[in-house]
Amino acid sequence: MTRRLLNLLTALSLLLCVAVVVPWVRSHYVGEYLYWTPSGPPSRLFAVTSADGLLWLGVTTGSIPLDPPGTPRLQYYRDRPDIWAAGVHPGWNQLGFRFIHSTAVQTHVRAVILRYSLLTVCLSATPAFRALALARRRRRFKDGFCPRCGYDLRATPDRCPECGAPAGTGAA
**Angle ∠(57,40,42) on CA atoms, nearest 5:** 65
User: Is 102 found in the same domain as 27?
Assistant: yes
Residue 16 lies in a domain: yes
Q: How far apart are CA 149 and CA 141, in angstroms?
A: 10
Nearest of 9, 17, 33, 42 to residue 117 by alpha carbon: 17
Residue 41: the pLDDT is: 60
User: Is 114 found in the same domain as 151?
Assistant: no
Q: How far apart are CA 101 and CA 37, in angstroms?
A: 19
Q: How far apart are CA 96 and CA 118, in angstroms?
A: 7
pTM of this prediction?
0.66
User: Is 160 found in the same domain as 106?
Assistant: no
Residue 111 lies in a domain: yes
Our CA dihedral for 5, 10, 11, 12, rounded to 10 degrees, sits at: 90
Count CA atoms within 13 Å of residue 18 on its CB side.
6
Give yes or no for a contact between 23 and 115, defined as CB atoms under 8 angstroms apart. Answer: no
Residue 62 lies in a domain: yes
User: Is 80 found in the same domain as 29?
Assistant: yes
Q: Which amino acid is located at 18 in the chain?
A: V
Q: How far apart are CA 31 and CA 3, in angstroms?
A: 40
pLDDT digits (tens, 9 = 90+) for 82-141: 544 444 555 666 777 788 777 766 777 788 888 888 889 988 988 888 888 888 777 766
Domain that holds residue 88: 2-119
Q: What's the whole-number mean pLDDT along residues 156-166?
A: 83
